Each structure stands twice: as structure tokens, then as C-alpha cells.
Structure 1
Amino acid sequence: MTARVRRICLLVGSGLLVSGAAGPAGEGAPSPPHGSEARFVVELEWPRENIARTLGVARSELGMYARGNPFQTRDIADLTCVVGPLFALDIDDAFAFDIDEPVDLVVTYAPELTGPFSVGFNDNGGDGIGESATIEPESGSTFATARVTLDRARFAAHGIRDTDLAIGGPEGIALCDIEVVRSHATPVPDGYGTLRLAVEDAASGRPVPARFGLYDETGRAPLPSERSVLVHRFVDEVRLLWVNPRTWWPSEHRLAFYVDGEYEARLPVGSYELVATRGPEYRGYERTIEVRPDETTDLTVSLERYANLPAEGWYSGDSHVHIAREHAEDDAVWAQIAAEDIHVANLLEMGNIAVTHFKQPAWGEAGQYVREGHALVSGQEDPRTVHRGHTIHHNLQRPIRPDPESYFLYHRVFEASRAQGGISGYAHMGQLFNGERGLALDVPFDLVDFIEVLQGGRLYDDIWYSFLNLGFNVRPIAGADYPYFGPTLPGVERTYVKLDGPFAPNEWYNAYRSGHTYVSNGPFLEFRVNGREMGSELRVARGQSLEIVTEASLNPDIDRLNRLELVVHGEVVATATPASADGDRLRLATEIEADESLWVAVRAFGDRDGERDMTVAHSAPVFVVVEDDPWWKLEAVPELVARHRAKLQELLTEPIRPAGDLEYWETTRLLEEEWEPQRLRLEPRVQEADARYQTLLDRAAAAATSS
């Protein structure tokens, strides 16, 4: 086989852009319609019949992902091939758009440069995403051909940058030709009618935004009309979104759209399943509707509450949302957030050592858009590296952008945030991207307000508990990280905060800072120790009895409560379980003696208990202080100190691995250049943190001796 590389489009060896790309999307990529592109995208010159565009990508939004390999255009024998890990293809709309029929793909590839591959595509019914079986390359010739049937193909521009197909595999593919063969079996409607919806809160009668699903008898979701909310998914502008399997949804079909109080659409006649949700405080809505020829079906959708938490002073927030705004008063972004019933959406600029994505237009109160009790607020996820974790900073008066020459010195950003009245912590459970290293360095200086302990359907409390058990007051927080993690949707994981007065974003942050908070993806919590709420510090005499009362409730549309646990120093000391199969509430009342200082918290679980698909809530602790002693878990201090000291040494001694950075195509060169000089600058800070751990260890040894 003879091959000649005609054009290196990006990424050779070290992962650096080599073709003069002007921005993060890569050379030749179409201009993003909404902000900068945080995903890798490069447009390839590979004209093919019925293919409008071919993109090299790292994620497809059609269920397929890839990393690392270079994209190239090569002449192999008499064909021009594109070579790389994953390609997204835009089917020419004039050939096929929004169809519902079997489509055959005839894929020609070069086996010598191809590993096992599959095809992802936008289909009809279910979750709207189809994927072929894995195709094993046939060796022995210059080219091979695979024929793949895409059942119920749709081609409605649901993929990255309005694409329709994804093709690739972990070892890459040399794609040399592709033929798209339609069956032309798309059903022809018997006529059209109109559906007109009004959406209201059942108790107040006021119009409200909500998330909707509409499915015909085959499960197909008609494309939403322009009366739906236009949503930003990275830089894509979409109206139909995937509801991932761990997100509560009343239907087995999982494509949804947002409505801001009113909606109207022209639909093929027939019977439809209509569903709607508005976050965990509302009951799900389900009914069947009929659309008749040349008639208008009017329907008022009244959404009933399961719980009214704002009436009790509790207001939800999402710590981690990535949606760019061009102006603060963005009604489309607000409608998506309000449809999920989120009261504070922290819209985070996302920085790396090279660039910043998801830009926000203003900061402080000028960057807040508050309407009908739902607020958009600017914040930042920056600095973030694969070497010491991702950090989040809320309630900032202005952004804090570290320069590349000091990017690894995270403490400077934490200190600047604290000076502004900001609230700062670590994302992704403190676990992903080596966040535990960063926590080991920053927590001893009392710079870390929170760890994002609930995300991606998973409560990860091990790292958080380790710092609580050393006597540090680190709060829990939860955020969905939209549009990542699946992708997810805003508010799937959320943080509830108890306010003493009327809602306002600044009051929400003040109450969070006081620790009156819990995290949840479904259950609601109440928790008091001697009448004091979660987050409180309670001083008592040694041996005093502590009266503990806690309650949990869970919208039965979401899941069934399985248990309510009382946790002391990370250990479960009491549990309540339901007395009946349909219970949606649990109460636990007990007493314990305060023989020592301690922290006590509660957590609730539903029946759904997958490792990354659990129904769960966890409170902030109540800190019980006896005779001014720390609330540490004394016997665990030596082991925990050793654990975090080891992470400090990892931070200094482990080599940096830029390929693990999320935007590796943007950051590799700077990370490689900047790490060593900044590692040397971090050494004194690490030594000081290590000395603080030693002081803690000495105090614990003295306390153990005296007891």
C-alpha cells in the first residue's frame, strides 16, 4: 500500500496545533455561533456525494468519544482518505433531513490504518441515539468495505455542529469513501393539526417554564417549533436535548425540549404521549393527546408540587453550569434554568492555562439576572489542570484570570476570591483530574470552602470525610456540570440552601457560607441537633446528651426512599427504613452522648443505588464542640495526615501528563513548558502545608496521650 500525507490538519505527536489554527476549534472549523468552542473540532476537506461537511472531533454528541490520535488527509492508492479517531458527518439536508427510515451506509476504509470501529447516528424513538455493532476490519487488501444499516435513521442535525453521523474507534480509522443509501420509506403523514400548550403552576396559576417530551405512537419526537426555547449546548444551538438514563423522566423515550410558559406547533395527525417535569419539587405530568387534521388542540398543563421548599426557606442552586452569555439578561438561558426550577445557576467561565470558554458578560450584581425567583450568576471554573484538579469560584465581583506563568499557584486565586467575598472550592468530588493533590495543599491554609461531592449520579464522600475528620470545616456542594457528564442537564444534581428571609442571590451565598445546606439529586432533608440546623457549631459539656431529629422525603415519581442514615465521624450510627413499600417520608429521632467533639450529618438514599446512578442526599454537618477540642476523629488523624502528605509529594514528584487535560489540544505546550519552573515555586508552599500537617499530628498525639 502506498500512502502520501497531503495535509496534517492538527495534532502531531505532542498534541500541538501545527496548522496555524486561529482558535481552539482548530484550522478550518466553522465559526462558532455562540461563544468559543470548548470541544475539539476541525473541518476536513473531503468532499463526498450527499455529505455537506466532514469534521474531525473528540466528542460527537451522538454517544461516541475519542482522544489523542492525529487527523490527516492521505492519498492511498487512488483514493483520498481521512485518518483519525472520530469523524462527524453532516448529511446534505437536500438529500435527507428529519427522515424516519432504514438507511444503508457503505463504508470504504483502509484496513492497515483502521481498528475496530462503529457508527453513531441520530435515530427516532428511545433516546434518539443509535449505534451500530462494532465492525472488525478485514485485512489482506488495500481497501475493504462494510455495509451498515441504520435503523430508523433521522438525520436532524442533533450531533456536534449540526452533524448527523459519527464514525470511528479507539484505534482510529482511515475513511476512504462513504455512500449513503436511502430506502425512501419515511411515512407520509395523513395530515396536520396544531397543538397549543399553556403551562402553569397548579397552586398559583401563574405561567412557568418546564421541560417537555412529545412522542408519537412509534416513539418519534417531532422537531420542536420555534416557540420552544433555543438552548446552548457548548456552541451548538439546539431545541431537542437528550435526557440521560440517570435523570428522572416520566417516559421511556428520552428526547426533550423546553417551553417558557406557552408553546405551539404544527404536528402530523395522530396520538401522542405528552410528558412534562419541573425539577424534583414537582410531580411529573403525563397524558395522551390527539392531534386531528386541520384542528387546534388547546391544553393547559398544570404542574402540581410535591413539595414547596421555598415556602420553608430552602432554595436550590446548581454549582456548576457552563452556558455562555452575551448579555446578562439572557431570557433563553433563564428559561432553561427556570424550567428545571433552579433558583441560583452558577454560570461558570471555564479556563485552562491557554484560553477561557463559556464567557460571561458581567460580574457581581451587574452579572446577575434575577427574574421570578430564579437567578443567573457569573462564576468561574479556573484554574483547572490535570495535575492538581479543577477549582470553582462563586459570587465573584470580577473574574480572576491567572496568567500562564503562575497558573499552578492556585492559592493566589483562592486568596483573591476570598478578598472579593467569593466562595471557592474543588470540583468533581475532589477526585477527578488529581483534585486530591490540590486539596491536600490548599485545605490546611483554610482556603477551601467546599468540595463538589455529588455529580454524575454519584456521591463521593471519602475525600470530603477525610478533611472533616481532621477538623476542617469544608462544606458539600453539588452541580451537574452541564453540558458535560453524559451530557447531563442543569440541576440534575443540586445544592439546597436555607435562607432566613426573602430570596436574593447574595443572601443565598451568605447562607451557604454559614453551612445551612445539603446536596441532593432527589431527596429533601431536614436535620437538627439540639434544635440547631445543619452547618451550625454547637458547644456542649462533655457527656451532654444530643437530641437529633432528622427527616427525609422524596418525590415518589423519582424513586422510593430506601433508608435515612445518621453519620458521626463518617460512620453510620443509626438508620431508619420505610415501614411500607410506598413510603415517601422517613423520620429518625435519637439521642447520642457528646463524649468528645464530633461532627454529625445525615444522608438519605433511594432504591436506585448504582455506583454512578444513585438517588441520594447528604447534609452539611453540625459541628459539636466539647471543651474547645477539635471535632476531628482522633484515632484516624495519623492515617489521614499520612494520606494527604503523600498527595503533597505526588504533586511535586509525579510527572505532568498533559494528554489527560480536558482541552489537551489547547494546553499541552504550555503545561509542558510551565510546570517545572512553577513546581519549584510551589515547593515552599508544599513545605508549609506539610509543616501544618505535622503540627496537627503533634496536637493529636498530645491529645491521645492526655486522654
Structure 2
Amino acid sequence: MGEEPAAPVLAAAAQHGEDLHVLNLVAGNVAGERVYDVEALRHWAGKDLPWSDDRHLARLGVEYRNDLIGHCTAFGLREPPRRYHSGFLGTADWPPNAVALEELRALGGVTGYGHPFHTPFGDDDPPDVVLDRGRSCAAREIVADAALGLIDTLDVLNHSSIAATAAVYRRLIGAGNRLAVTAGTDAVLSFCRRGTASSPPGWERVYANVAGPLTAESYAEAILLGRTFATTGPWLELTVNGHGPGDTLELPPGQRVEIAVSSIGPEVETLEIRTADGVLAQGPPGRLTAFVEVREPTYVVAVASGPPHPRSMHRSGAYAHTSPVYVDVAGGHVAREADVRWCLAWLERLEAVLRESGTFETPGSSATTSPCTSAPGRSTGGGSRLPGSGDAGEDPFQAPAELAGRSRRRPRRRRRRRACGGMPARPPRAPRGGRRAAIRSTSGGTGPSTSAASREMAPSTYTMIVYEARGSGSAASSASPTRSATGPLKAAPRMAGTAAGWRISTSRRSSANAVMRSAGGLLSSSSDARSASPSSRSRRPPRAAAARARLIRVLV
């Protein structure tokens, strides 16, 4: 995969050269069952990679991939998951991403969606603008997974449409979800001539305000508390009555608050203060302040933007976005009716998209999803040997000696139509009549044939609507520590600077060998589809029924 073999030493050099405090290398597939670097993940899960030190932390994570409903990521896993993808090479879009996210959460992972949206999208556009694009890798399941509390972050900063992702992000937090802003470059160390995929790790970054020494645990805690901002370059700060991102203010109705935003960086042209009701204030770079009397629960975020600039590698220009400061009023949490209804419209349209583009039955056999197929010792197309695929006792993350100085042959050009960032288009889906989901046994084999054992699964079976006014997703409070300014850290390349306590990170979507990606399933609120028997499967899974019992509490 790619033009050059990428040994672990390259990942180490890239992280230290860019002075990235946190690097998340993710294992995953590309266009089939093969999972790149799963051997390294099995060896290093739950441990820091060898080049980590007091200032730099590197871990192996996962990107779980389904091109219809989105690519999920996980940081800080204690051990490898059982599944990495679904919906490739004619397999079913099953189980849903929700099942994979539950497993990743159980393994200690901080979860989210990477490169979520690729279509131009505005704050007032309806959901179908981003939903009606076929198998485009868009994060279509994100509304359901956020409502179920299965994701912690969203890569608002990504290689594709930042504006579209930011618009969806603000709809999600306006509907009552607590999600942190993060960044993911989707860079691939073995690519040399593929746009931003060939750029260095950290050309976009998330900064997290870490309390104490840098460890995987302290970094994950900062992310979960929402003490973050993501940026293509500008430094951005936000305070509400002195409290920073991730904090929650509990106020009585009518209290006046002061909001202050500051930026550093020549690429910034405009600063914005946004609440659940939209843009509150806008002004030139440097510093922006506003005062407001709060009458109802809301959130406050800061946004910095500017035109294309040499310091910003994203084609759309400079951009930075903070996580929210939440403002609770009289014990109530933000849950804006317009945002809740928008999310419900998203789920309704998603049902139609699943009917049109989803695969719930493979031609001539039951639909299955492979939990994992390890990459062989040699990759196709002249690829390099994967660490950990050799003799017993070999360090899975030690670069094989024979790779030194060796170049990879360029892969043969495929004539078949390509989709989703150059990956081969999937085979034609099954006929639309009578789509079904096969049952997988706990041992990993398939159950009886689809026609005999499976029950028909309409896309509505998968759709979960769980919107309520809730604030339990935030562990931060108004007493949460704010960022320290006791001394500057060394400024990283293309970044305006950092303050003590803030850690730089990128969710690096590559491995030390090739692309490190994974795939996901479809929407369902059932637990593990692999352990269900035909008799236990109902038309609407049990958790979906429970979810619908809590439907739209905020609207009634």
C-alpha cells in the first residue's frame, strides 16, 4: 500500500520531528478483509510504543470502517477488538457501528468518528444534503451513536469538509449531546503523492488541557472532559466567566456572563462566538468579548477562520474550533428544540438511505462480517512485510532488517471504478427485495442459511431515536481546573504556540507499515449480533424498543 515501505522508525521520526505530544496510529482494513498492522496492535495494545518519552506518547488504536455509515476511531485500547470492519467485498452492512463502539468502549477506548463529511454543508441545510451520497464514508450513524452515548469525540478538523462537520457538530451538542472537538489528519506514512494523506502527521491538531504528567490516561481524561480545541494552525482560547472548554456553569435565569475569545496567528481573519442560537458576536482577530444574559440553557464555542495561508495546509483555509463551555440554567441542560428535530429528521432520512444503499443479504448465501483477517507476511502489489508476521518471539513493531533502504513497487493501476478516496468500488449489492441479516455464532461461523434462519430486517429496525434533555455526558463542572499559563511549551511547526498543560495530538490515520484503517456496521440497538439466535431476534431489537420509550422527552 503506497509508494514507500513505512517502518516504525518513520513514525517515531515524524512524531518527534513535528513535536507531537500524542500520536494515535490506527490499525484497520482498506477495501477487504485484510487488517493492516493487527499483529502490532495485538502486541502493543495497552502499552506505549517504544519511542514514547515524558513529552511524547504514541499508542496503537483502531479505525473501524464501514463506507456506508462511517469510520469510527478508538484511542487507548487495553486489548484488540474482535471486529474491524463490515460491508466490504459484498459482505453485509452488519453489525452496526454501535456494536463495534460498545466493544471499543468496553476495552477502554476513547471513541469518535473520523473524516466525517465530504459534502459542502451549511448550518441551515437539511440532513439529506450529507446523507444522500451513497457509500461515501460519511458518518451517517453518528446521530444515533451520539444519542446513545457511544462516542466521545468528533474530528471537526479533518482532511475533508471542516465546515460541514462543524455544522453537524453544533447540531449534535445543541440537541444535548456532550462531545469533544478533536482532529484527525488521515495521513498515511507509506503514501508519497496523495495530497494531505502524504502530509506529515499533525498538519491539523487537537490541543488537550492535560492535568499532570502526560500519560495515555491523563490525555484520555482531558479529551473526555472536553478540554480541547482543534486547529489548522491558529491558537484559540475561550473563557466564559473565567471558565474554559469542558467546564459547566450552573446559573440562575437572567444572570449576565462575560465571554472572551482570543487568537494568535497571522492566518486568522475572523473570530466568532457561537451559542446554541447561532453567532452571538463576530470580529477581527486578536480578541473578541461579549456579554449576555442567559435565560435558558445553552453552550458557548469559539471559532477562528481565515482564507488559504501558507501556515494552513487545508485547502479551505485556516480554521480553529473549541469544545463548548456549557451553561446550565436552573438545573436544565441545553437541548434546543430545533436541533432535536433536525436530528430526528436525520434519522428518518437515514432509514430511506439504508433501504437504497444498504446490503443486508449477500447473493446466494448468508450475510457475514469477518471479525478480522490478519495481513499475511507479504502484502500484495509488492508491499512490505508487516511487523509481527515473522518468527515467534519477534517484536511486532521492530522494522525487519531487509526493509532498510528498500523501495516499494508502485501498485498496478486498477481499471475498475474507484470510490471513497481511491478504494475499489464494492461489488453490486444484492437485489432489493427481501434483504435479511444473517446470524453469526459466538464461535465466528455463520448460522443457517439466510432464507431458513434469518428474519427480515427493515432499515427501520436499525434506527434508534434517543433524544432527551440530559447532561450526564459531561464530567466537568464549573470547578474544573482551567488551563495554566506558568510557561510556554516549545511551539510546534505551523502552530502559533502552546501554554503549559496543553498537549498536542493528532489522530494519525496510518500505521508504521501502510494505511491503518478499519470499518463498521449498520444501525442497531441490539447488543452483539453474533450471539443472537434466530428465535431471540425480533423485528425491533430490545434496546431499540427501550430507546423509543424515551423518544423525544425534550419535546413533550
**What TM-score, normalized by structure 1, do the two folds share?**
0.47
Aligned residue number for residue 294 of structure 2:
594
Q: Which residue matches 1:125? A: none
Matches within 5 A, 1:283-302: none
Given the superposition, is the C-alpha separation of residues 577 and 671 from structure 1 closer, same or farther in structure 2, using an over 3 Å criterion? farther
Q: Which of 153, 176, 185 lines up with 1:471 in the alignment?
A: 176
Residue 514 (structure 1) aligned to one of 215, 219, 225? 225
Q: What is the identity, as a one-letter code, of the residue corresponding to 2:308?
A: R
Instruction: Give SS of 1:371's match.
Output: coil
Residue matched to 2:321: 618
Matched, 1:373 2:55: yes
Summarize the Cα distance change of 1:482–1:641 in structure 2 as closer, same or farther, 3 Å threshold: same
Residue aligning to 2:349: 646
Structure 1 residues 687 and 563, CA, compared in 2 at 3 Å: closer, same or farther?
A: closer
Take 2:351 and 2:250, find their aligned partners in 1: how far apart are those partners? 33
Q: Residues of 2 paired with 1:387 and 1:339: CA distance? A: 36
Calculate the aligned-residue CA RMSD, in Å.
Answer: 3.4
Quickly say closer, same or farther: Cα 1:686–1:659, change in 2 above 3 A: farther
- 2:445 alignment partner in structure 1: none
Greater alpha carbon shift after TM alignment, 658-667 vs 451-460: 658-667
Residue of structure 1 aligned with 2:111, choices 413, 424, 429:
424
Matched with 2:369 is none
Secondary structure of the corresponding residue to residue 641 of structure 1: helix
Deviation at 1:676, TM superposition (A): 4.5
- Higher RCO by CA contacts (8 Å cutoff, separation 6 or greater): 2
Bigger-Rg structure (1/2)? 1
> 683, 693, 699: which is aligned to 2:553?
699
| Deviation for aligned residue 1:695 | 6.6
Stretches of structure 2 lacking an aligned partner (at least 5 in a row): 87-91, 120-135, 189-193, 361-416, 439-455, 467-543
Which sits farther off after the overlay, 686-695 or 334-343? 686-695
* Map of 1:542 onto structure 2: 253
Verify the 8 A CA contact 1:354 1:666 in the aligned structure 2: no
Please report how far the alpha carbon of residue 345 of structure 1 lies from its aligned counterpart in structure 2 after TM superposition.
0.8
Q: What is the 5 A alignment of 1:297-446?
A: 330-351=8-29, 354-359=33-38, 360=40, 361-367=43-49, 369-371=51-53, 373-382=55-64, 384-402=65-83, 407-431=94-118, 433-446=136-149
Q: Which residue of 2 is the match for residue 677 of structure 1?
A: 437
Measured after TM superposition, the shift of residue 591 of structure 1 is: 1.5
Q: Secondary structure at the match of 2:28?
A: strand
Residues 417 and 570 (structure 1 numbering): CA distance in 2 closer, same or farther, change over 3 Å?
A: farther
Q: Hey, what does 1:24 align to over in structure 2?
A: none
Asked if 2 retains the 8 angstrom alpha-carbon contact of 1:469 and 1:569, the reply is: yes
Distance 1:475-1:509 versus aligned 2 partners, 3 A rule: same
Shift of 1:459: 2.0
Aligned to 1:71: none
Secondary structure of 1:491's match? coil
- Distance in 2, Cα, partners of 1:697 & 1:684: 15
1:566 partnered with 2:273: yes
Quote the offset at 1:529 in angstroms: 1.2
Q: Distance in 2 between matches of 1:646 and 1:613?
A: 28
The amino acid of 2:73's aligned partner reads: I
Q: CA deviation at 1:434?
A: 4.6
Distance 2:247 2:423 in 1: 42
**Percent identity of paired positions between Structure 1 and Structure 2:** 23
Q: Is the 8 A contact 1:597 1:629 kept in 2?
A: yes
Q: Which amino acid aligns with 1:686?
A: T
Q: For the Cα contact (< 8 Å) 2:46–2:77, is it kept in 1?
A: yes
Structure 1 equivalent of residue 419 of structure 2 = 660
Query: Aligned equivalents of 2:154 and 2:316: distance in 1?
Result: 20
Q: Write out aligned runs for 1:45-194 (5 A).
A: 160=3
2:317 match: secondary structure: strand
Match of residue 447 from structure 1: 150
> Number of aligned pairs?
368
- C-alpha contact 1:551 1:587 (8 A) present in aligned 2: yes
* Counterpart Cα distance in 1 of 2:244 and 2:97: 32
CA distance in 1, matches of 2:545, 2:37: 39
Matched, 1:494 2:205: yes
**How far, CA to CA, are the matches of 1:409 and 1:466 in structure 2?**
22
Q: Distance in 2 between matches of 1:332 and 1:661?
A: 26
Could you tell me how far apart the structure 1 residues matched to 2:93 and 2:79 are? 19
Alignment partners' CA distance in 2, 1:618 and 1:368: 32
Amino acid at match of 1:510: E
> What letter corresponds to residue 622 of structure 1 in structure 2?
V
What is the deviation of 1:590? 2.2
- Say if 1:497 and 1:516, in contact at 8 Å, map to a contact too: yes
Higher strand share: 1
Residue 654 and residue 458 in structure 1: after superposition, are their counterparts in 2 closer, same or farther (change >3 A)?
A: closer
Q: How many angstroms apart in 2 are the aligned matches of 1:671 and 1:356?
A: 25
Kindly indicate whether the alpha-carbon contact (under 8 Å) linking 2:93 and 2:359 is maintained by their aligned counterparts in 1.
no
CA separation in 1, counterparts of 2:357 and 2:546? Answer: 22
The equivalent of 2:502 in structure 1 is none
Question: Aligned-pair distance for 1:445?
Answer: 1.0
Which AA in structure 2 matches 1:606?
G
Alpha-carbon shift at residue 401 of structure 1 (Å):
3.5
Cα pair 1:334 1:375 within 8 Å, conserved: no
- Taking structure 1 as reference, are residues 540 and 485 closer, same or farther at Cα in structure 2, changes over 3 Å only? farther
Q: 2:48 and 2:139 mapped to 1: Cα distance?
A: 34
Partners of 1:618 and 1:540 lie apart in 2 by 25
User: Quick one: structure 1 residues 670 and 367, their matched pair in 2 at CA, closer, same or farther if it must change by over 3 Å?
Assistant: farther
Matched, 1:576 2:283: yes
Aligned-pair CA distance for 1:639? 3.4
Q: Deviations over 1:389-444 (max 9, x none)?
A: 11111111112141767854222221112112211111113457353422133222
Q: CA 1:344–1:356 in structure 2 vs 1: closer, same or farther (change >3 Å)?
A: same
Task: From the superposition, tell whether residues 688 and 631 of structure 1 become closer, same or farther in structure 2 (CA, over 3 Å).
Answer: closer
Measured in 2, the distance between the counterparts of 1:377 and 1:681 equals 39
Shift, 1:534, TM fit: 0.2
Q: Contact 1:380 / 1:392 at 8 angstroms: preserved in 2?
A: yes
